[in-house]
């Protein structure tokens, strides 16, 4: 599972390790640039994310929210999934139940590939349950076939996310495409490693050049407002 944070306003470039956590538990960084921690359960990882947000001086859910990339096709097929870390197996309904529990407990605004790409019925059930209050992203699920993508876009009004891929360089063309297309979300990875920072920097320069004509999309980027996300603290 890959996780990211969505910030309101300014961003911080330092990595925050939760208070009391061992540095050995945060041993490496994957291709998207974020820390690759060692936890016993997914809930532990989400707890650490929330603690890190608070440690950085932000208010979870009101100023910083969580986006998850479940990548369920990597560990689930045929309506069954294996959680290797927790040494248990779930069916699609069991995974949906776990995800819904996370959505209630944690400040999550976006979930990508929540179910395996060959389990469209389960994907539909999950989207029906939470699609009115958060963003559900189909990456593996939709790109598996152009016809499926066209059907989703036409029938359900799906929007697009401009995203980097693994093995990125410091080329920044993706930033110009995202802003020129006015797609909203731009997924470029963590505030670490030069191939990611190279894309964050021109976003800031474009914002400065736009001046009053530019604005931070905030919760509007997800098409809805969930329990006060991006509302000013107070």
pTM, whole model, 2 decimals? 0.75
d(C-alpha 184, C-alpha 217), whole Å = 7
d(C-alpha 133, C-alpha 130), whole Å = 6
Question: What does the pLDDT look like over 8-60, one tens digit per residue?
Answer: 333 333 334 444 454 445 554 555 556 666 778 888 889 988 998 999 899 99
Give me the pLDDT at residue 225, please.
38
Give me the pLDDT at residue 114, please.
92
Give me the pLDDT at residue 81, please.
84
The CATH number of 1-9+17-158 is: 3.20.20.120
**Do 135 and 159 meet the contact criterion of CB atoms below 8 Å apart?**
no
Q: Where are the beta strands (DSSP E) in 33-137?
A: 64-69, 76-77, 80-83, 88-91, 108-112, 135-137
Residues near 72 by beta carbon (within 8 Å), at least 6 away in sequence: 81, 95, 113, 114, 115, 116, 117, 119, 140
Give me the pLDDT at residue 101, please.
95
Question: What does the pLDDT look like over 188-210, one tens digit per residue?
Answer: 877 777 888 899 889 889 888 98
Give me the pLDDT at residue 31, please.
52
Question: What does the pLDDT look like over 72-85, one tens digit per residue?
Answer: 888 877 788 888 77
Confidence of residue 4 (pLDDT cuts 50, 70, 90): very low
Taking the domains of the chain in order of start, what are their residue ranges? 1-9+17-158, 161-213
């Amino acid at each position: 599972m890959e996780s990211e944070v969505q910030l309101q306003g300014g961003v911080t470039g330092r990595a925050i390790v939760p208070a009391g956590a061992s540095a050995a538990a945060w041993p490496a960084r994957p291709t998207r640039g974020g820390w690759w921690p060692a936890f016993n359960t997914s809930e532990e990882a989400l707890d650490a994310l929330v603690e890190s947000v608070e440690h950085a001086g932000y208010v979870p859910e009101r100023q910083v929210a969580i986006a998850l990339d479940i990548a369920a096709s990597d560990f689930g097929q045929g309506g069954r999934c294996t959680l290797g870390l927790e040494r248990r197996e779930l069916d699609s309904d069991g995974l949906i139940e776990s995800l819904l529990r996370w959505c209630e407990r944690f400040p999550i605004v976006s979930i990508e590939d929540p179910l395996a790409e060959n389990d469209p019925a389960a994907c539909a059930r999950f989207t029906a349950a939470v699609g009115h209050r958060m963003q559900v992203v189909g990456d593996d699920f939709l790109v598996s076939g152009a016809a499926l993508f066209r059907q989703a876009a036409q029938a359900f009004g799906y929007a697009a996310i401009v995203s980097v891929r693994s093995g990125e360089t410091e080329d920044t063309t993706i930033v110009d495409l995202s802003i020129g297309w006015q797609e909203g979300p731009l997924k470029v990875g963590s505030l670490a490693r030069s191939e990611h920072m190279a894309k964050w920097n021109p976003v800031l320069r474009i914002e400065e050049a736009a001046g009053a004509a530019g604005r931070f999309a905030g919760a509007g980027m997800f098409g809805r407002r969930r329990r006060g996300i991006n509302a000013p603290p107070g």
